[in-house]
Structure 1
């Protein structure tokens, strides 16, 4: 039994997790370099260096692969943003600038991830629904960070907080998409700075309105 559970010091669960990661890495590469049409079982397995049975061990459809990859990129993005906020100096602009920089750099240092987050995210009905939920989750994160930073925890939740957070996150997604397509003639640093200006402006204004 022990031999079935471990091999070379790696458990069966760890090996399965490694195979799943290899398949998702292959999916990321295929989507970023060849496009959605080339995302086939055989291409995935060739890219991961795995037998097709390991694909079916982890996924039951291409949509399942896309959803898992989208979730992986979203989780990386959330981790990067939260870490940046927690380690940034304690001023509104520093916090906003750090978070926005972390998010934009993660998506643009590896354009494949931006392709998944901004383009592939609308490829199927399942992904479109997932994108709506993920956008809402990031908006909730922005709202929670703002409430905490400005000391508004004693204030009853105001719908305008959710509105502005959703507006900011949705606007950033559309702006980043336009920038990647070459429709906004800005450097990445300028894009980050202008985005920071908008986040701070709306955040400071809202905090002034809601403070007791």
Structure 2
């Protein structure tokens, strides 16, 4: 039987979750400041002021921590976009714009999160695979959440999903270029451009059968 004790009134499991969150936040700091190649278990632990013992109670290795950091940012982007979409007026353009602006706002207001989602997630191995999973997840959220697509049949939904994946991948590249300074666009201009692209697809309607 395992006995866990509270420390200063904080249960052991809660302390473990706090340390895990501290490591994820520190990973975002290290990724942004040192780049993917400069991050290590040692550097994260030193910056978080935690011993490796506490690292390995939550993560098997560095890749698992980096995936957790990417997932945390992805979850925040999705949650912010969906909240904005649900709160927007019952108008397709307004809902699409609100969702894009809210999701983009997460990464443009905290460059650590932009680094994790747009730079680290295009790195190596598991991180590269996770980038593709994130793009697919966001595309599927659009397909599942917008009522305008509910009337589509199977073939039309497949077409819409393919176009959503194309647009999401392109949007990721545009956002990365803007945040890296390779493309000079204001937040409003980015949101306008992405909104126009999405509306062009969403308002096209089902493709007539051949």
TM-score under structure 1 length normalisation = 0.90
Q: Say whether residues 1:155 and 2:153 are aligned partners.
A: yes
Q: List alignment gaps of at least 5 residues for structure 2.
A: none
What per-residue deviation string (whole Å, max 9, x for no partner) do you get for residues 43-93 of structure 1?
211221212210111112111111111111111111111111111111111
2:177 maps to which residue? 178
- Tell me if the contact between 1:27 and 1:44 (Cα under 8 Å) persists in the aligned partners: yes
Q: Secondary structure at the match of 1:206?
A: coil
1:115 maps to which residue? 115
Q: List alignment gaps of at least 5 residues for structure 1.
A: none
In the TM superposition, what is the alpha-carbon distance from 1:3 to its structure 2 partner? Answer: 7.8
Q: How big is the alpha-carbon RMSD for the aligned residues of Structure 1 and Structure 2?
A: 2.0
TM-score under structure 2 length normalisation = 0.90
In the TM superposition, what is the alpha-carbon distance from 1:97 to its structure 2 partner? Answer: 0.7
- Tell me if the contact between 2:40 and 2:62 (Cα under 8 Å) persists in the aligned partners: yes
2:70 maps to which residue? 70
1:189 maps to which residue? 188
- Tell me if the contact between 1:23 and 1:47 (Cα under 8 Å) persists in the aligned partners: no
Distance 1:57 1:186, change over 3 A: same
What per-residue deviation string (whole Å, max 9, x for no partner) do you get for residues 5-27 of structure 1?
32233221111000001111111
For 2:131 and 2:67, how far apart are their aligned partners in 1?
Answer: 10
For 2:143 and 2:106, how far apart are their aligned partners in 1?
Answer: 21
- Tell me if the contact between 2:82 and 2:99 (Cα under 8 Å) persists in the aligned partners: yes
Larger mean CA deviation between 17-26 and 137-146 belongs to: 137-146
